[in-house]
Chain A
């Protein structure tokens, strides 16, 4: 496209439809609630109140659609909006952290997508364009990422560059290279591991509190009749036990099945690709998510292994970019689900594409202070022993079981100490922790924002300290670099070194 100087674009016309529908939801949910929960006799009145609001809302949507325009300038994306109070938002290409796309079924049918542009600031996307045609999205990707390359090459050379519009496509159409593709088998595994069924149950419970169907379902009645059945059939306690166990297995199986179904639906066709200088993630059967993350925007890489995942030899990888960390569910999918599941033996290969030379397994790991295990043991005993003894004495015969707790507590504390470790390489700080869910993370030294050394009064008694390393974008990876129980001197030296390295690393590249 050799467009004459900055031409402004509108959203796709179907935006109107989507905005209207999504806006309608605000009205429909309370409306339905009134219909379902309240007495439905007054419904007509509600309609009366809603109509003018709806009409006004519709007009507002149309005006909004007509007034929103965006254009690509030399180095920035400009979005203009508003009629009475006009806002013009300039987003420099090299400030855009990632471009996320969300396409639900209707979007896909119409060949459009919702576009979210993330910058480093704040927790919300910098701009949400709802919705753009796919070819417009492609253009935007090209302009943003090429514009950025151009901007950086220009600043290196120091030339002013050609006139606007004569965008010479020096770079070949960025080569794509597939890194990870998830088949059905892996997705089923992921379904088992992620245990989404519980989430669905929680949602169901939440809904049930709103509508209270228990009365109609008469659950206690079921119990009564089940009990009656047991008594009538003269079933012994063993039979009842078997029945209960069978029912729980059934429920568990159902939960796992639901989890698998949810996972397959959500992550169907998952692909992680290297596209030029960035990564592209795409997945979803009904609602299709696509995200593009420039490689050098990655702040933090984190490998997670839950207990179940370890059993199956699987890991997941999450990344963090600056900004957009507030809502880790909806807005941060590209980072939370960088690679949702992966054979553990395959992790080094993928990490290597993210951060060449990063080898988490063979990093120079260093453990906590030599006295850490003893301190943790004491702490666990202090916390658990007295309550456990009290419980054991008060509820004598059965309460004695409580004496297991201090033992467990001590085991857990010692395990924690043994498994927590940190490492420093030329380029990264690494940290790992966790007993059941193990997390190993790496932050590039040139991405370190601040270093804090903290000492509690207890730390001082043991001459220890905690070292915390802060990076931009904390949320989706759900892991912070915070190394407790370090020898004071070691920690202080580390803090000094890291700060110095962070400062000098910034100017090296």
Chain B
């Protein structure tokens, strides 16, 4: 996962389509078919980096706290031992979250873009399948953070008129994949129905 994205200097526009963008990174996005589609593996790297940064900050803070506890003799012995044990636990879970979890998540996540709906599967422990009928899509966003931009990853956000699932996120797509999916969803939304009728509002 160490290849460099040649167009990392691209301006930070999040919504423009760039059909002439050189496709030098990763594979071409798979064509839009009825089968389940995987996310871009580069997402694992992005997720790992950001989670490692978080884990590092928390661990350092804990270490500083423990160091002060032990060197200055704060709290009782048992409490100190307890804190130490807890910190080890927290750090271990953060390491799990940063290193192992993204792979597991990636393996489980997929999406299906069918004629009737977009269906998104996510979750490792708490799993969910969210289906949004195509006519219910009000609008979509493609979002990229700085780290995501560096690795050519994007997040597709689908807005419906609903309440609980008013925004449905599809994270970990490659930029091209996100753009193509977006274009596909939008074309369908714009083309086939008279607004205000089919969106169920």
Contact = CB atoms under 8 A, between A and B. Distances in A.
Interface stretch (B47-55, B78-86, B162-170): B162-170
Q: Range of interface residues on chain B?
A: 20 to 34
B163 A474 contact: yes
A473 B163 contact: yes
Q: Range of interface residues on chain A?
A: 35 or more
A472 B162 contact: yes
Contacts of B199: 506
Given A503-B133, A507-B135, A325 B127 contact: no
Interface stretch (A138-146, A191-199, A332-340, A448-456): A448-456
Interface stretch (A58-66, A168-176, A355-363, A494-502): A494-502
A450 B135 contact: no
Interface stretch (B4-12, B15-23, B64-72, B189-197): B189-197
Interface in B124-169: 125-136, 160-166, 168
B165 A470 contact: yes
B132 A449 contact: yes
A71 B126 CA distance: 52
Interface string B19-31: 0000000000000
A449 B161 CA distance: 7
A446 B135 CA distance: 10
A480 B165 CA distance: 12
Given A120-B201, A503-B134, A457 B126 contact: yes
B160 A503 contact: no
Contacts, number: 118
A509 B163 CA distance: 24
Contacts of A448: 133, 136, 200
Contacts of A94: 196
B61 interface: no
The secondary-structure label for the interface of chain B is: loop
Contact of B125 (A457, A503, A504): A457
A504 B116 CA distance: 8
Contacts of A155: 194
Given A446-B200, A450-B132, A455-B126, A499 B116 contact: yes
A447 interface: yes
Contact of B131 (A495, A506, A507): A495
Given A94-B196, A95-B196, A502 B164 contact: no
Given A120-B201, A499-B117, A470 B129 contact: no
The secondary-structure label for the interface of chain A is: mixed
B194 A449 contact: no
A448 B165 CA distance: 11
Specify which of A94, A453, A468, A503 lies most central, judged by the most chain B CB atoms within 10 Å of its CB.
Answer: A503
Contacts of B119: 499
B92 interface: no
A271 B127 CA distance: 47
A446 B161 CA distance: 13
B100 interface: no
Contacts of B136: 448-450, 502, 506
B88 interface: no
A441 interface: no
Specify which of A452, A460, A474 lies most central, judged by the most chain B CB atoms within 10 Å of its CB.
Answer: A452
Interface in A298-335: 299, 322, 325
A103 interface: no
B198 interface: yes
A292 interface: no
Contacts of A453: 128-130
Contact of B161 (A120, A451, A496): A120
A449 B165 contact: yes
A503 B193 CA distance: 11
A299 to B, nearest CB: 8
Contacts of A471: 162-163, 200
Interface string A466-499: 0010111111000010000000000010011001
Given A470-B165, A472-B201, A480-B164, A451 B135 contact: no
Contacts of A452: 128-131, 164-165
Given A120-B161, A452-B164, A503-B135, 20 more contacts: A94-B196, A120-B201, A447-B201, A449-B132, A449-B166, A450-B168, A455-B126, A455-B128, A456-B126, A460-B127, A468-B164, A470-B163, A471-B162, A472-B162, A472-B200, A474-B163, A492-B129, A506-B135, A506-B136, A506-B200
30 contacts: A120-B161, A299-B201, A322-B201, A448-B136, A449-B136, A449-B200, A450-B133, A451-B130, A451-B131, A452-B165, A453-B128, A453-B129, A453-B130, A454-B126, A454-B127, A455-B126, A468-B165, A470-B163, A471-B163, A492-B129, A495-B129, A495-B131, A499-B119, A502-B133, A503-B134, A506-B135, A506-B193, A506-B198, A506-B199, A507-B198
